[in-house]
Amino acid sequence: MDHCHSAASGRPQRKIPNDRCSRRRFMSAVIAFALAMVVGGQVLHAADLPGSFRGSAFATFANVTAGPVAAQLGRSAYQPCPCRGTNGQVLSNTVNTLQAGDGGKVLKADATISTVFTNKSATAATIQNTSTVNGLNLLNGLITATSIRAVANVNATASRITASVDTSVFSNLRIAGNLISANVAANTQIPLPGLGKVTLKKVQRGGNFSTLGRISVQMLTVDISQANALGLPVGSQIVVASATATFTRSQPAAVVSGQAYATFANTQAGPSLQNRIGKAALVTMGCEGTGGKTLTNNISTFSAGSLFTLGNSVSTAFGGPQDGGTVAITTSTIQSASLLGGLITAATIRAVAQETFKGGVRTRSTAGSGFAGLRIGSVVVPISAPPNTQVPLPGIGRVVVNEQIVPAAGSKTQVNGLHIFVTVANLLGLPVGSEIVIGHAEASAARF
């Protein structure tokens, strides 16, 4: 007959019936578990699988060789994936219409959306990043598709990492009138007479898939190698529907993020204006930093009709370890700017955003931001004008000069060289509510 006994030292042991004995063992186990899960008054949870995420998705991209098309396409609908992940939520970015090159002869799309998603438990981690482009017309109708979807998947357990792009698919893709299989083989190349070639479902893998696994897919990659009627320079590259996903078992002490660009217009400005302005000279950095390098993007000249003409514009980004801490810094520098039909002119506009995380402390700086030779109407704005100076624009609205957004905690440091707000009907045809930014920099460095 099975018995359990009292544990009091020095006392006679007494037999307890089996049902009471079982209940006592059960309650003892529950209490022991509860005590083990509470330390210093805090409830402890099972730790998630160690590791961090990387990746992004975007609808379109063109390299700097492509000239104005690069500014018009930028990394449209760009959505980065945070190193810490999304905690089971879907983050997304959408661009409703897109055009590039002489009324859309180079590229037109009806709608684009990019998403990132991650989830993590004690035993597994998942990341799925996607880009979807609907109603594509590329290279003046040479390439068309009802829909294109890029999907990058990475899954991890405690012992292995796997990756796939299996659900990446074309819908009604035609090249020179020929229907292409929805699940065409990865890295298929097709010649484009008079232009160059296109690579379908270009897949790249990286890492050892033990401690790090990475996969990327570019659904359409056009490489221009011949002079052509569309005026695309030789060496131009255009990418449509791109998704990248990475899981690494390392967890940095601090993470960074940031981007910089020369131009931007908000959604109230309308899709046509947004598309013409784009994010010229866009440069971005992921949460892992820039690997000790300074990333740079530039355009020699850029014009959006009477709205603005810009000379050389350069954007830079650097992120990573520095002087015993972690730093993130981005810059945007624009030369010879003329805006709103000459109402605003400037020799130089510069935006600088910097954050440093060191010794558990986060510091911010906008040092280096400012302008030279700035004239608004007939008024010369002195270099000594303080940040966030507001100047009226009669018949249009107002402009904020050297706009600096430096939060006390959380969020990111942002600088806009010039931020134009359209508040009244105007001869330029800009919709009320439109906002135009010239020279933007943002940066963040924080604890993982």
Instruction: Report, as ranges of residue numbers, the positions in the chain whose pLDDT lies below 70.
Output: 1-46
Contacts of 170 (CB under 8 A, 6+ apart): 145, 147, 148, 180, 181, 182, 183, 184, 200, 219
Residue 324, CA distances (Å) to 259, 289, 361 in order: 23, 15, 12
Supply the pLDDT for residue 410.
86
Distance CA 270, CA 293 (A): 36
Of 26, 428, 93, give the one whose Cα is nearest residue 259: 93
Q: Is the dihedral of CA 232, 296, 328, 152 positive or negative?
A: positive
Q: Which residues of 98-124 are buried (b: 16+ CB within 10 A; e: fewer)?
A: bbbbeebbbbbbebbbbbbbbebeeee
Rg (CA), the chain: 28
- CA–CA gap between residue 144 and residue 138 (Å, rounded): 6
Residues 284, 50: contact at Cβ < 8 Å? no
User: Rounded to an integer, what distance in angstroms lies between the CA atom of residue 191 and that of residue 311?
Assistant: 36
pLDDT at 159: 95
Distance of alpha carbon 384 from alpha carbon 21, whole angstroms:
83
Cα of 180 vs its chain's centroid, Å: 30
pTM higher than 0.75 for the full model? yes
Biggest alpha carbon distance in the chain? 103
- Rounded Cα gap, residues 368 and 417, in angstroms: 11
Q: Residue 297: CB partners within 8 Å, gap ≥ 6? A: 64, 281, 282, 283, 314, 315
**pLDDT score at 25:** 52
Q: Enter the tokens of residue 124.
A: 């597994």
What is the sign of the dihedral through the CA atoms of 170, 171, 176 and 177?
positive
